[in-house]
């Protein structure tokens, strides 16, 4: 690949990486809220021992698990973009 094309691709990957890192940071902050909510619901379920409280806990837990999957996907994307960026940089230097 010619140098100009490598630089263009590197710029594009860098932009995507910056955006992916920002999204990951947001997801991690949101996950904290979902985790706290699920833990609060779990404790309420244990204390109240009602079907409604247990249902609320399971709902909160499902939301937390969905956020975990989203966060893990975002982490994977960041790692892939970092690898791509490293490969492009190494090709650019050589």
pLDDT tens per residue, range 39-65: 999 999 999 989 999 999 999 999 999
Nearest to 14 by CA among 93, 70, 66, 87: 87
Average pLDDT over residues 24-44: 97
With 0.75 as the threshold, say if the pTM is over it.
Answer: yes
pLDDT at residue 1, as a whole number: 62
For the segment 70-91, the average pLDDT, to the nearest whole number, is 97
pLDDT of residue 94: 72
Q: How far is CA 75 from CA 56, 84, 87, in A?
A: 28, 14, 18
Residue 1 burial (CB < 10 Å; 0-12/13-18/19+)?
exposed
Distances (CA, A) of 40 to 48, 64, 70: 12, 12, 22
């Amino acid at each position: 690949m010619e140098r100009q094309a490598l630089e263009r691709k590197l710029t594009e990957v860098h932009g995507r990486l910056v955006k992916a890192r920002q999204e990951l940071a947001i997801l991690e902050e949101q996950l904290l809220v979902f985790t706290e909510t699920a833990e609060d619901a779990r404790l309420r379920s244990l204390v109240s021992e009602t079907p409604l409280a247990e249902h609320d806990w399971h709902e909160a837990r499902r939301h937390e698990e969905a956020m975990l999957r989203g966060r893990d996907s975002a982490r994977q994307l960041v790692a892939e973009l970092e690898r791509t960026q490293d490969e492009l940089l190494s090709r650019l230097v050589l």
